[in-house]
Every structure is written in C-alpha cells, then in structure tokens.
Chains A and B, each alone.
Chain A
Amino acid sequence: MSNIKHHLTDDILMAYSAGTLPEAFNLMVATHLSLCDTCRAHLASFDAVGGEVLDTPDVDIAMDTASFAATMALIAGGPTEEIKVTRPKGMLPAPLQDYVGGDLDQIRWKPVGLGVKQAILPTSKDASARLLFIPAGAAMPDHGHKGTEMTMVLQGAFQDDDDYFARGDVETADSDHFHTPVADIHEDCICLAVTDAPLEFKGLLPKIAQRFLRI
C-alpha cells in the first residue's frame, strides 16, 4: 500500500488512543492512519491496552438503579449517529476532506509570500492545523519550536537535513529542533502541519512573516 518511512511516534499514538490529544493532532493522526497500515497496527495495540485498563474491577462504579431500563429506552429510540462508510476519491484522505469540504480543488489558499500558500483548518484552539503549499524547490523559513510540530506530506516531497519526506511521511519536531524543510524540485509540495505552540523564527524578516502566517 505504501512506502512510508517516517511514522507517528509511540507517544502520539498512545495519546490518540487515550483520547487526550488536541483536535488538530487527532486530525494529523487520523490522516496518517488513513494511509499507513503500520501505524494502524500499532494503534490497535495501544487500544488493546486501553481495553484491558477499562476491564479491571477497580474501575467499576455502580450504575444507578433505573439505568438499565433507561438504556433499553435509548435503544428503542434507534441509533443516534449515522454510520459513515464512504471512502472519497481524491488526493486528500477522508478525515482531511471532512475539514476542507472536498479535495485539493476545494482548499481556500491564502498567499503568505514567496509563492508559499496556506489554509488554516477549523479546529479547537489548543493547537492549530493548516495546509501548506510550498512551490517546488522553495524553502520554509528557518525556525525552531516552543512545542511539538508535526508535518505530513500529501503531495510532492521535502528534504530536511539528511531526511527525505514523501507522501504519507510525518516529520515530528519538538522544542530543541531548528530546521529548514526544502520542497523537492520536481513538484510543488502540499503538507498538513499541526502545532501546539507558535513557531520561533530566526531572522527578522521571517518574524514579520510570522504575523501573517499566524503560525
């Protein structure tokens, strides 16, 4: 199915399984899992740990007396949520299409200078998610991070130091990491990027750009 080389970290997968990640990071994980069977299998093992944690007697707290009857009444009322089974066609995996409202052609890009464009996706405020368009051969400004930043390639590829990231690959960078991802020369690069803290840029010009980028 894929040649993905750079995967989600155990910390992130476990937090996704526990349900403690901000929405933007959940979106990143769900998007990667849609393309990656390896991480899907790892997630299954973290979910299995969750199941065993749930199924221990010391977790037990007695239900109210009338609760079984109330539950049967809920059941009689029919399912509350519809079950989605569609797998949309296109470049963007299903979870991202939900946020974009369609495939690549539906993304509302905003130029941020030097040919770079971005589209901020609507998520809860504790972290941010955006799509980035980096022209073939162009570089992101040199920057470090206060929190965790994850970047996943959807189209094209980028190089960061010695590592090469292609479709499905995820780069996870944390606070002590300064870097300059450069898009591959052959194709414009489109990425999903999520952060839980503002990025720190090195130069003055990028600092100004940061205000416009809202990152």
Chain B
Amino acid sequence: EDKTKKRLLWVSHLTRIRDNQDKAAFAELYAHFAPRVKGFLIKSGSDASLAEECAQEVMATCWHKAHMFDPSRASVATWIFTIARNRKIDVLRKQRRPEPEELTWGPEEEPDQADVLALQQESELLGRALADLPAAQRDLIQKAYFGDLSHSEIAAETGLPLGTIKSRIRLALERLRHVLK
C-alpha cells in the first residue's frame, strides 16, 4: 500500500516537472534514481566515470521527455530503465538502436486515473514478486538485465549447466507472470 503511494508520488513528480519545470520534484527524483542508473551502468560493464556522466544524461533526458511518460503504461522506474538501457546501447556498445514505430498518434490525452492506479499497483506486485524469488533466481534475472551475459555466459560464470539456467529464467518469469495475472 505504502509502496504504491511511493510509485504514484514519482508519477506526480514527473507531472510537476512536465507542467512547471519543478526543480524540487526533480531533485527528489534525481536523489532516488540517479545512483540506481549509475549502478546499473557499472554493473553493465561501464567504468565509474562514464557511468557518472551517462547517469547525468539519463536524468536530463527524464526532464526533457517528461511529456512523453505515460503512467497508464509504465512505472517511473520502468520508464527510466528504458532510457538508461538505450543509453547503454549507444555509449557502452556503440551501436544504433532501432526503435519500433510509435503507437500513440494524434492528440495526446491525459491517461485515465483508474488505469494509472491499476498499472502502478501491478508494478508493486511485480516488484514484490521479484523480491520474494529465491536468491538464485533473482540473481540470474539481475545478471540477464545488467551484464552483457548470454545464457551460456551466465552458465560459465555461475558454473550451472545451461539447461538449468534457461529453465530457471523461464520459471522465474512464469512466477512473475503468474503474480500479475
């Protein structure tokens, strides 16, 4: 309950940044997410100074693209994750990242508040499901997102046979999906 409130708070922070260029709201968003983005990039293989620079750019992008965030489609954490991930591909992997066509077309409307609440509650369930996973499974999921690790590389790192890894990731995702149903 409290945690869903926290998620809704981040949503309203982004609205304040979008509508009023609210620096106080941005400072709070920054204090929470910038260190996580930096950590995400370091765990993805970046050195500390590049990660620091990229995290600043990611947070600046949050400011500039605040009008593109749709809280009925993603949590603020998810949205920032996608920005950080794209930055990682640009800078760490030095590749173009093809993006799918935009779905939204025509005049933008404010999303329905009930949809926003439902999505943010669902994210909270997902977060809790992830936290409740056995440590070994949670570990593998983190590795899949942080490291540039393929399934077979994960196998080499953890000493687990490939079949086990694939089925563990699948199992973990199925559990997550089950919780979201």
Taking Cβ atoms with an 8 Å cutoff, the residues of A that contact B are: 10-11, 14-15, 17-20, 22-23, 26-27, 29-31, 33-34, 40, 44-45, 47-56, 59-64, 67-68, 70-72, 74-75, 78-80, 83-85, 87, 93-95, 98-99, 123-124
Main secondary structure of the interface of B (DSSP, over half): helix
**Is the CB of B11 closer than 8 A to any CB of chain A?**
no
- Cα A161 to Cα B170 in complex, Å, equals 28
**Is the CB of B34 closer than 8 A to any CB of chain A?**
yes
Q: Please determine whether A40 and B103 come into contact, CB atoms closer than 8 angstroms.
A: yes
**Is the CB of B38 closer than 8 A to any CB of chain A?**
yes
Taking Cβ atoms with an 8 Å cutoff, the residues of B that contact A are: 23, 27, 30, 33-40, 42-43, 48, 51-52, 55-57, 59-61, 63-65, 68, 73-75, 77-82, 84-86, 88-89, 93-103, 105, 123, 126-127, 130-131, 141-142, 144-146, 148-151, 166, 169-170, 173, 176-177, 180
- How many contacts A-B (CB < 8 Å)? 178
Main secondary structure of the interface of A (DSSP, over half): helix
- Cα A63 to Cα B73 in complex, Å, equals 29
- Cα A15 to Cα B149 in complex, Å, equals 9
Q: Please determine whether B77 and A62 come into contact, CB atoms closer than 8 angstroms.
A: no
Q: Please determine whether B43 and A59 come into contact, CB atoms closer than 8 angstroms.
A: yes
Known A30-B98, A63-B35, A75-B64: A54·B84 in contact at CB below 8 Å: yes
Residue of A at shortest CB range from B78?
A51
Known A31-B98, A44-B73, A52-B126: A61·B105 in contact at CB below 8 Å: no
Q: Please determine whether B127 and A52 come into contact, CB atoms closer than 8 angstroms.
A: yes
Q: Please determine whether A47 and B81 come into contact, CB atoms closer than 8 angstroms.
A: yes
CB of B34, distance to nearest CB on chain A (Å) = 5
- Cα A78 to Cα B63 in complex, Å, equals 10
